[in-house]
Structure 1
Amino acid sequence: MTARPSANDAHESTSSEAGADPAATEHGADVVQEVPSPGEATVAVTENDAAPVEEAAGRPAVQVEAAQPPLAPVTASQTLPSESPKPWWQRAWAVLGAVVGIVGAVTGVISIVPLLVRDVTTPDSLAVTAESADAELAPVFAVPIGADWSDFPTSSGACSQEQQAWLDDVGTRLTERFMVSVGNRASEGATLSLKDFRGQGETASTSSEAVAVVCDRGGTGGSSMRAARVDPASGRTAVYAQADPSLPDNPLVFNLAPGESGDFALLVQSSADFTGDLVFTVSVGSESWTAVLPVDGGVSVPGLAAQRFTISEGGLACVGTEPCDPHEVLQDLMLASGKV
């Protein structure tokens, strides 16, 4: 059997430890402090990292190095120093810089907008209308050359109501004169050039078989407005005829600067039966295209003889400076068409 220490032995052992030599401590010996706790090992704390020693009771001692002291916690009172406010002139310069930036952006937008919406001359800038402009007191009729001219009534002077009624019954009233209005709706840019007014359509192959008769009831000779003349069946362009036949005709050309507009009279007299449109060429710089003159219902005119008649001194008379006999002219036209 293992002998158990008696109470006296334990007392002596404790006494001997309490009475340890103080000189040992003075010479650097380790001081061991026992923490008797039931069921736990005794922990030995050394100051000089010495080796562990054994507990008097015979249990091994655990050596633990001295722990580093924890960092002091940051308290609420330990705050970072607050940033001092900027001087007033720095804030003023910042505001001024922002305002200048906004104004510059707005000014840039305002400067760009006019460039994007500039109203320069384009094909859509052209404005054109065409309306009938025949004189009410001087209507024109196309009368077949083979009509019974012996039945044509006479009057005391200008074209009478009886004569106009005969022309209405035997012939066909014509729309020859048009008032054309053109304009350039652009506010800037190039000039619109209008030229080469001509016919575009179907033309009969037979010669004219009618003659034009002007029923001038006012005795004024019809409209005095100068007009450019176009023969849609010939393929030639419109011209202004000169009073002197020895001079060349002037072509009809109309130029329109931005914002400009104007009017001109166009006389349509065809040498053969024609059905189609009146067209013209529009140019802007190096670009050109064909436009249609907006005539209601298009153009449908009979072919007419070059010589025209009017009513003078109660009967038929030739139009023009050269004297002629209307009955002889009719006879020649009938011979040319094979009617005789």
Structure 2
Amino acid sequence: MAVISVVGTAAGVFGVVQAMTRDTTNFSHLQISAGPTEGATAEWAVPEDALDRLPDAGWCGEEMTSWLESNATPLRREVSIKLRNDATEGPMLALTDFRPVSTVAEKRGPLRVRLVCDPAGSIPSQIYHGRVDADKGTTARHVRVSGTGAEAAPPVPVAFNLAPGESGTIPVGLFSRMPVSGSLEATVLSGKEEKVVAIPGTEFELPALLFAGDMYLITTDAGLLCVQTEKGVIEECTLDELKHEVATARK
């Protein structure tokens, strides 16, 4: 799994600064789009009844990839939102309240386990992203997950400020305990005015994931490992522990 970091030239990336208006507000200056987060890793949703058939070779090689293509479903869970203020002068644009507009299934149905196929062959020491719980409708929170509690940080709302000519990128991770489909939107502030904008390219469809995706499998050079993130800390678990949680969730 590649470490996700925020890229941008805007100051105060995760805090809203009061916009200073010099001329008439023009929301059309905002350019916003999204696409899959680039990287060598691939994520899959593995059916719970396929866990006992996982390949003995736990690294992200030809055998694992072939098995996943036959037994699992590709998981598009990470997107990068690209922002730009095309104005040459005038108000700062502040974006906040990044949130899902989604349809949640009435029944959970079959449970899936997230599997990260990572050629790097190691567990990440830190992960940064804007977390969206797609089935809850809550606003995105900036999350820093670390291997130690001392390096973790409490979640804060995702926001982004764009002065004229500035641009940036926000990496977003989608999580869900229920089958859900939808897309993302955000609120744009300029002076005392605001506007809700849909974010093209953020369309998603997720299955019900064990622990919403926070307990998952990752390929490493040492084999397939279980990982759980809780309260900002990355912890290792065992495949037996993961199967136990799957069995408990099935009841």
TM-score, length-normalised on structure 1?
A: 0.58
CA apart distance, 1:315:
2.8
* Superimposed CA distance per residue, residues 205-224 of structure 1 (whole angstroms, 9 cap, x where no aligned partner): 33471110011123155797
Correspondence for 2:207: 302
More helix by share: 1
1:125 equivalenced with 2:29 (yes/no): yes
CA apart distance, 1:173:
0.7
CA apart distance, 1:171:
1.1
Secondary structure of the structure 2 residue equivalent to 1:335: helix
Residue among 221, 242, 248 paired with 1:335: 248
**Cα distance between partner residues in 2 of 1:192 and 1:151:** 51
CA apart distance, 1:277:
1.4
Residue among 6, 24, 44 paired with 1:141: 44
- Does the 8 A contact of 2:126 with 2:144 survive in 1? no
Summarize the Cα distance change of 1:223–1:119 in structure 2 as closer, same or farther, 3 Å threshold: farther
Q: Percent identity?
A: 30
- Does the 8 A contact of 2:44 with 2:68 survive in 1? yes
Correspondence for 1:75: none
Correspondence for 1:93: none
Correspondence for 1:180: 81
**Cα distance between partner residues in 2 of 1:124 and 1:224:** 36
Residue among 180, 183, 200 paired with 1:274: 180
**Cα distance between partner residues in 1 of 2:154 and 2:125:** 23
1:323 equivalenced with 2:236 (yes/no): yes
Deviates more, 1:233-242 or 1:205-214: 205-214
Secondary structure of the structure 2 residue equivalent to 1:258: coil
Summarize the Cα distance change of 1:223–1:202 in structure 2 as closer, same or farther, 3 Å threshold: farther
- Aligned CA RMSD, in angstroms, stands at 2.5
**Cα distance between partner residues in 2 of 1:131 and 1:222:** 23
**Cα distance between partner residues in 2 of 1:174 and 1:196:** 25
More strand by share: 2
Unaligned runs of 5+ in 2: 1-21
Secondary structure of the structure 1 residue equivalent to 2:176: coil
Letter in 1 for 2:218: T
1:196 equivalenced with 2:109 (yes/no): no
- Does the 8 A contact of 1:128 with 1:294 survive in 2? yes
Higher Cα Rg, which structure? 1
Secondary structure of the structure 2 residue equivalent to 1:241: strand
Secondary structure of the structure 2 residue equivalent to 1:130: strand
Letter in 2 for 1:242: R
CA apart distance, 1:150:
2.4
Correspondence for 1:230: 132
Secondary structure of the structure 2 residue equivalent to 1:228: strand
**Cα distance between partner residues in 2 of 1:223 and 1:266:** 18
- Does the 8 A contact of 2:127 with 2:144 survive in 1? no
Residue among 249, 260, 264 paired with 2:155: 249
CA apart distance, 1:281:
0.9
Letter in 1 for 2:31: A
Correspondence for 2:15: none
Correspondence for 2:14: none
* Superimposed CA distance per residue, residues 20-70 of structure 1 (whole angstroms, 9 cap, x where no aligned partner): xxxxxxxxxxxxxxxxxxxxxxxxxxxxxxxxxxxxxxxxxxxxxxxxxxx
Structure with bigger RCO (C-alpha 8 Å, 6+ apart):
2
Letter in 2 for 1:178: V
- Does the 8 A contact of 1:280 with 1:293 survive in 2? yes
CA apart distance, 1:264:
1.9
**Cα distance between partner residues in 1 of 2:238 and 2:127:** 27
Correspondence for 1:213: 115
Correspondence for 2:223: 314
* Number of residue pairs aligned between Structure 1 and Structure 2: 217
Q: After superposition, where does 1:153-172 map in structure 2 within 5 Å?
A: 153-155=55-57, 158-172=59-73
- Does the 8 A contact of 1:158 with 1:218 survive in 2? no
TM-score, length-normalised on structure 2?
A: 0.77
**Cα distance between partner residues in 1 of 2:105 and 2:28:** 35
Summarize the Cα distance change of 1:120–1:263 in structure 2 as closer, same or farther, 3 Å threshold: farther
Deviates more, 1:281-290 or 1:235-244: 235-244
Correspondence for 2:19: none
